[in-house]
Amino acid sequence: MNNVVKKKLKNGEKAVGAFIGIYSPEIVEMLGYSGFDFLVIDDEHGAFSPRDLENMIRAAERVDLVPIVRVSYDPSCIQKALDRGAKGIQVPMVNTREDAELVVKRAKFPPIGQRGAAFITRPSRYGKDQGKAYLDAADDNILVIVHIETPEAVANFDEIISVPGIDMAFIGPTDLSISMGYKEEGAQHPEVQKVIAQLRERALQKNIPLGTIAASPYGVRQELQKGTSFVAVVLTSVFMTAFSEVVDAGQGAH
Ligand code: 3PY
Residues 149-187 pLDDT 10s: 999 999 999 999 999 999 999 999 999 999 999 999 999
Is the interface score ipTM higher than 0.95? Answer: yes
- CATH code that applies to domain 4-252: 3.20.20.60
Q: What Å distances lie between residue 248 and 68, 182, 192, 243, 245, CA to CA?
A: 35, 30, 32, 9, 5
215 to 135, 231, 238: CA distances (angstroms): 37, 10, 7
Query: What is the widest separation between alpha-carbon atoms in the chain?
Result: 67
From 71, 72, 147, mutation site for ligand 1 pocket: most ligand atoms within 8 A of C-beta: 147
Q: DSSP letter at 73?
A: S
> In the Cβ-directed half-sphere of 235, how many Cα atoms lie within 13 Å?
19
DSSP codes, 88-111:
EEEES---SHHHHHHHHHHHS-TT
Residue 211, ligand 1, Cβ within 6 A? no
For the residues 91-97, what does the mean pLDDT come to? 97
Domain ranges, ordered by start, for the chain: 4-252
Which residues are registered as beta bridge partners of 171? Answer: 148, 212
Does the Cβ of 213 fall within 6 Å of ligand 1?
Answer: yes
pLDDT bin (cut points 50, 70, 90) of residue 1 is confident
Residue 254 has pLDDT above 80, yes or no: no
